[in-house]
C-alpha cells in the first residue's frame, strides 16, 4: 500500500480533493436513508431558550444558507486535514516499518522467555526436593547430636578416668584433690539419682569401682581432717587463724563427708566439738585465773552507807579494816569510762600484770565478756561456713559457758560493790546491742542469763545499803561537828552515781529504790541533828549536809531533778530557820517588838499605847552595836558553813531580813507621838544598805 502510494503520487503532484470528492449538497444529505428527523421539533422546543439556537432560529429563511455555509466550512477543514495527513505519509510509512521490526523482535523474545519459564519451573521443583532432603537431614543430624550429647554425658559421668583413680588413691589432699572429689561426688550422685542409669549394664561394671573409690576417699579425708583438728590442741595455737587460713580451704572435704560418708562425718563433727570444747574451756579458765590477779577489791560487806568508819574496839570488836579504795565504793568517778570503752580489745593479762596495774571488777568483767563475744562470733561463723551447721556452736560452748558460770557463781556472792554491779548490768546491755548489730544470736540466752543473775545481786546489795541507814547506830555515827557527815556524802555520791548510770535507761524500779533510800537518809539525818544540844547547831548541821548533797547531785545532770528538788526545799526551809535564829541571837528584843507591835497603830490601844520610852532603848541599843553584831554574824557564818558561797548567801539573807525588821521599826517610830525625838539615834537605811553591799562584795 505504501508502494502504491509512492507510485501514484510524487512530491511535486497536487491532490485535488474537491475534484475527487465532488460537491456535496444538503439536499443530497437530506435524501439519504440514514437520516431521520423524528423528534427534531421536540429538540428545537427544548433548545429554544439557548442563545445560539435562538439566534439561528431567528434568522428564519436564511437557515438553509447558513447550514450550507457551515457544511462548506466543515468540508474545507476536512480537506485540509487530509492534506496534512498526505504530507506526513512518508513518516507514517517509516513508523509502520519500525513497528513491524519491533513486533518480530518481541516475538523472538517471547519464544526465549517461554523456554526460560519452562526451565525455571523445572529448577523450582528440584529446589523443593533438595529443601525437603535438607530438612530431613537436619532433623536427623539434630537427633544424632542430642543422642551423642546424652551418650557423651552418660559416658563422661559414669566412666572413671585412670588419672582420677591415681589422685584419689595416691594423691595428697590439696586443691586438685578437692576438685577430683567434686567429680567423684557428681558421679556418685549420678548413679544414685537417675533411674535410667540404674538400669544400664554399664553401671554393673562401674559401680563396684565407684564404691571402692568412695571408701578410699572417705578414709583418706577423714585422716586428713582429724590430723588438722589435732593441731588445734597444740599450746599457744591461734585457733582463729588456723580456722580461717587452713581449715576453711578444705571446706569441701567436710561437705563430701556429709554427703557420702555420714557416719565418718559424724565422727569428724564429734571430734571437732570435743576438741574445741576442751581447748576453749581451758583458754577461758586460764584467762579468768590471770584476770583474778589483776582484780582491785572495791567493797566488802562492811562498806555500806550507814556503817561507821571508826575502827571497832572492845571485847566483841570485829577484825574489819577499811579498804584503801573506799572512795570508789560510793562515787562513780572515772569508772564510768568503762562504758565508753565498751568495744575496746580485751585486756592482755601478762602486760597489765607486768605494769602492776589493778582494775575494778567491772573492767575485768568487760574484758572477759569482750573475749567471749569475739570468740563466740568467730566460732559461730566458722561452724556455719565450714560445717553448714549453727546448732553445733552450743555443743562446743557448753564447756566455756560452764567455766563462765562457775566463775560468776564464785564472784557474785562475794560482790558488795553496787556501783560495779550496775556498771556490769550496763555493760551486758551494750554487749547485747553489739551482738545484735553483728546479727549473731548465739549469745542471746547467755547474756540474758547473766543479766538476770546481776539484777538480784544488785538489789540485795542495795537493800544492804538501805538497811544500814534504817538500822544505823546514831550514837556511834554522831560526831560533834556541824560540817557534812560522811554518811550523807556517801549517800549523795552513791545516789548521784546510780542516777547517772540510769540516765539513758529510765529504770522505774531503780528510781523507786532511790526514793526509799532518800527517805531512809532523811530520817537518819534528822536523828543525827537531834544529838546537837542547840537548835542552831542542828540547823547548821542540816544546812551543810543538804547543801553538800545538792552540789553532788548536780554533777549527775538533770536526771537528779526530783531528788535534788526535795533537798533544795529542805535547804530553803532550814536556811530561813537559821536566819531567824541568827538574828534573834543578836537582835532578839528588836525582833520581838517588831513582831508584836510594829504593825499596830500606836493610838489604836488607848490602854497601852506605844511610847517613846518603850522604843528608845531598842533604838539606842541597835545604834550602839549593829555594826559589831553584823561582824559577829559574819564570823559565825564563816565558821559554821563548809561551803563559802552557801554561807555568804545565808549572811546576805540574814542582813536583808535585818533591814526589813529595822525598816518596820523605823516606820513604827514615825507613828508614835513625839517619836521624832528619836531621829537622832536612828541609823539611816542607807548606812545599813552600805554594810550589806560591803559583805555582798565578798560573795
Question: 543-575, pLDDT tens digit by residue?
Answer: 999 999 999 998 887 877 789 999 999 999 999
Tell me, what's the pLDDT at 167? 85
Residue 489 vs residue 11, higher pLDDT? 489
Tell me, what's the pLDDT at 250? 86
Whether residue 543 contacts residue 550, with contact meaning beta carbons closer than 8 Å, is answered with no
Strand partners, 359: 295
Q: How many residues are listed for the chain in this entry?
A: 699
Percent of the chain with pLDDT over 70: 84
User: What is the average per-residue pLDDT within 144-151?
Assistant: 76
To which residue does cell 554393673 refer? 204
Tell me, what's the pLDDT at 276? 92
Whether residue 603 contacts residue 596, with contact meaning beta carbons closer than 8 Å, is answered with no
Residue 175 predicted with pLDDT over 60: yes
In terms of phi and psi (left: phi > 0; alpha: psi -120 to 50; beta: otherwise), the region of 318 is beta
How does residue 8 score in pLDDT terms, banded at 50, 70 and 90? very low
Q: Could you tell me the three cell numbers for 204? A: 554393673
Tell me, what's the pLDDT at 156? 63
Q: Could you tell me the three cell numbers for 231? A: 593441731
Least confidently predicted of 152-166, 448-462, 592-606: 592-606
Closest CA to 247 of 230, 259, 266: 230
Sign of the CA dihedral with 51 first, then 53, 57, and 63 last? positive
Cα Dmax for the chain = 191
User: What is the average per-residue pLDDT within 195-224?
Assistant: 77
Question: 130-147, pLDDT tens digit by residue?
Answer: 888 889 898 888 888 887
Least confidently predicted of 48-52, 115-119, 246-250, 525-529: 48-52
Average pLDDT, the chain: 83
Tell me, what's the pLDDT at 280? 94
Question: 359-404, pLDDT tens digit by residue?
Answer: 999 999 999 999 999 999 999 999 999 898 888 999 999 999 999 9
Distance CA 514, CA 498 (A): 8
CB proximity list for 630: less than 8 A, separation 6 or greater: 655, 658, 691, 695
Residue 319 predicted with pLDDT over 80: no
Tell me, what's the pLDDT at 243? 86
CB proximity list for 580: less than 8 A, separation 6 or greater: 591, 657
Question: 281-312, pLDDT tens digit by residue?
Answer: 999 999 999 999 998 888 888 889 988 875 44
User: What is the average per-residue pLDDT within 668-685?
Assistant: 80
- Domain positions in the chain are 71-158, 162-278, 289-309+325-567, 585-599+610-696
Question: 657-675, pLDDT tens digit by residue?
Answer: 988 988 888 888 888 777 6
Distance CA 631, CA 642 (A): 18
User: What is the average per-residue pLDDT within 466-492?
Assistant: 92
Least confidently predicted of 2-6, 289-293, 335-339, 589-593: 2-6
Residue 9 vs residue 56, higher pLDDT? 56
Residue 438 predicted with pLDDT over 90: yes
Tell me, what's the pLDDT at 61? 55
Amino acid at each position: 500500500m505504501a508502494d502504491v502510494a509512492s507510485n501514484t503520487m510524487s512530491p511535486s503532484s497536487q491532490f485535488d480533493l474537491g475534484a475527487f470528492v465532488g460537491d456535496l449538497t444538503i439536499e443530497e444529505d437530506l435524501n439519504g436513508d440514514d437520516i431521520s428527523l423524528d423528534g427534531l421539533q421536540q429538540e428545537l422546543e427544548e433548545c429554544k431558550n439557548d442563545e445560539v439556537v435562538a439566534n439561528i432560529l431567528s434568522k428564519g429563511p436564511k437557515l438553509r444558507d447558513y447550514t450550507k455555509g457551515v457544511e462548506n466550512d466543515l468540508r474545507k477543514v476536512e480537506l485540509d486535514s487530509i492534506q496534512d495527513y498526505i504530507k506526513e505519509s512518508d513518516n507514517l510509512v517509516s513508523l509502520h516499518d519500525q513497528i513491524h521490526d519491533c513486533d518480530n523482535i518481541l516475538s523472538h523474545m517471547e519464544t526465549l522467555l517461554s523456554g526460560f519459564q519452562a526451565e525455571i519451573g523445572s529448577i523450582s521443583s528440584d529446589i523443593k526436593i533438595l529443601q525437603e532432603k535438607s530438612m530431613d537431614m537436619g532433623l536427623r543430624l539434630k537427633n544424632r547430636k542430642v543422642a551423642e550429647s546424652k551418650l557423651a554425658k552418660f559416658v563422661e559421668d559414669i566412666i572413671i578416668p585412670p588419672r582420677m583413680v591415681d589422685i584419689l588413691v595416691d594423691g595428697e589432699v590439696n586443691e586438685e584433690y578437692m576438685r577430683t572429689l567434686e567429680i567423684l561426688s557428681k558421679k556418685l550422685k549420678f548413679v544414685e539419682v537417675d533411674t535410667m542409669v540404674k538400669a544400664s549394664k554399664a553401671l554393673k561394671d562401674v559401680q563396684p569401682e565407684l564404691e571402692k573409690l568412695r571408701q578410699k576417699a572417705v578414709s583418706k579425708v577423714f585422716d586428713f581432717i582429724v590430723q588438722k583438728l589435732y593441731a588445734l590442741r597444740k599450746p599457744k595455737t591461734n585457733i582463729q587463724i588456723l580456722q580461717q587460713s587452713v581449715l576453711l580451704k578444705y571446706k569441701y572435704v567436710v561437705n563430701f563427708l556429709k554427703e557420702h560418708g555420714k557416719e565418718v562425718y559424724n565422727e569428724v563433727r564429734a571430734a571437732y566439738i570435743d576438741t574445741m570444747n576442751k581447748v576453749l574451756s581451758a583458754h577461758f579458765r586460764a584467762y579468768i585465773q590471770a584476770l583474778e590477779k589483776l582484780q582491785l577489791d572495791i567493797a566488802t560487806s562492811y562498806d555500806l552507807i550507814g556503817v561507821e568508819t571508826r575502827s571497832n574496839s572492845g571485847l566483841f570488836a570485829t577484825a574489819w579494816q577499811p579498804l584503801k579504795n573506799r572512795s570508789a565504793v560510793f562515787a562513780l568517778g572515772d569508772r564510768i569510762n568503762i562504758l565508753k570503752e565498751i568495744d575496746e580489745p580485751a585486756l592482755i593479762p601478762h602486760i597489765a600484770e607486768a605494769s602492776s596495774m589493778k582494775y575494778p571488777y567491772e573492767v575485768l568483767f568487760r574484758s572477759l565478756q569482750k573475749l567471749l563475744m569475739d570468740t563466740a562470733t568467730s566460732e559461730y561463723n566458722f561452724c556455719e561456713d565450714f560445717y553448714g551447721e549453727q546448732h553445733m556452736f552450743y555443743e562446743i560452748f557448753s564447756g566455756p559457758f560452764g567455766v563462765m558460770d562457775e566463775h560468776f557463781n564464785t564472784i557474785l556472792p562475794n560482790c558488795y560493790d553496787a556501783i560495779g554491779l550496775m556498771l556490769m548490768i550496763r555493760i551486758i546491755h551494750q554487749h547485747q546491742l553489739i551482738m545484735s548489730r553483728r546479727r549473731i544470736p548465739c549469745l542471746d540466752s547467755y547474756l540474758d542469763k547473766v543479766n538476770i543473775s546481776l539484777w538480784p545481786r544488785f538489789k540485795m546489795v542495795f537493800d544492804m545499803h538501805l538497811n544500814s541507814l534504817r538500822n544505823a547506830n546514831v550514837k556511834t555515827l554522831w560526831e560533834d561537828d556541824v560540817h557534812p557527815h560522811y554518811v550523807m556524802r556517801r549517800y549523795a555520791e552513791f545516789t548521784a552515781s546510780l542516777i547517772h548510770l540510769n540516765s539513758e535507761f529510765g529504770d522505774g524500779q531503780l528510781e523507786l529504790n532511790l526514793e526509799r533510800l532518800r527517805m531512809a537518809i532523811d530520817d537518819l539525818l534528822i536523828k543525827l541533828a537531834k544529838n546537837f544540844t542547840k537548835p542552831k547547831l542542828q540547823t547548821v548541821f542540816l544546812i551543810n549536809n543538804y547543801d553538800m548533797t545538792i552540789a553532788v547531785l548536780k554533777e549527775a545532770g538533770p536526771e537528779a531533778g526530783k531528788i535534788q528538788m526535795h533537798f533544795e526545799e529542805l535547804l530553803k526551809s532550814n536556811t530561813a530557820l537559821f536566819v531567824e535564829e541568827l538574828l534573834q541571837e543578836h537582835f532578839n528584843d528588836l525582833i520581838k517588838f517588831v513582831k508584836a507591835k510594829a504593825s499596830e497603830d500606836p493610838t489604836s490601844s488607848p490602854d497601852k499605847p506605844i511610847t517613846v520610852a518603850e522604843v528608845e532603848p531598842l533604838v539606842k541599843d541597835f545604834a550602839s552595836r549593829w555594826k559589831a553584831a553584823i561582824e559577829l554574824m559574819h564570823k559565825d557564818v564563816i565558821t559554821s558553813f563548809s561551803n563559802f558561797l552557801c554561807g555568804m548567801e545565808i549572811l546576805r539573807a540574814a542582813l536583808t531580813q535585818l533591814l526589813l525588821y529595822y525598816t518596820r521599826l523605823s516606820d513604827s517610830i514615825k507613828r508614835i507621838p513625839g517619836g521624832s525625838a528619836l531621829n537622832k539615834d536612828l541609823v539611816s537605811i542607807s548606812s545599813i544598805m552600805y554594810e550589806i553591799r560591803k559583805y555582798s562584795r565578798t560573795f
